Structure 1
Amino acid sequence: MMSRKKRRSWLPLLGTILLGSLASISLMIWKRFSKKTPPATIIKHQVNTRPDDTLKYWTAEKMRNAPAADLPHVNALDEGKERPRHS
């Protein structure tokens, strides 16, 4: 009888290595591009005015004559959706 040598199949090991590499690379790409950037409409600035000076500046007359601030645009609810009920 001929003796058979057990040959180790490298295919499962190679497949596991390739799958692990693919998963690692996809996670790195996902992590890189998932960084959230703040919206361009947010502007940070430091206020150097004292609160007392601000209260003195905004008199009742200036408040009456001040232009109204723009309100945010809110879309109406889609058809079939209900408003959440608060308890």
Structure 2
Amino acid sequence: MAKALLAVVVVAVAAVLELGLVGANFQDQCDITWEPQNAKMTEGGDHLTLSLVSNSSGCMLRTKKQFIYGSVSTRIQLVKGNSAGTVTTYYVRT
């Protein structure tokens, strides 16, 4: 019984690693399909920087495959003394 359980665990871990759920990065796993000039990948694709180049600009990022789990965090730096009325929007489609 213990050997069968161990075999199931080993197969499950191997499947997760094969799916690429560990170590994903923007460069390998994503395409920037709209306004790519507003996006810059850094540190081997581990980080993505978006820049506002006009009063209304943005960017679209699509993953090349589906992911079951993930996380997203954002750090925003506003223009000092001139950020009144700034609106940020984050759309996620599943």
Tell me if both proteins adopt one fold, taking TM over 0.5 as the criterion: no
Question: Which one has a bigger Cα radius of gyration?
Answer: 1
Q: RCO greater where, 1 or 2, for CA within 8 Å and sep 6 or more?
A: 2
Q: TM-score, normalised to structure 2's length?
A: 0.27
Between structures 1 and 2, the one with greater strand share: 2
Q: TM-score, normalised to structure 1's length?
A: 0.29
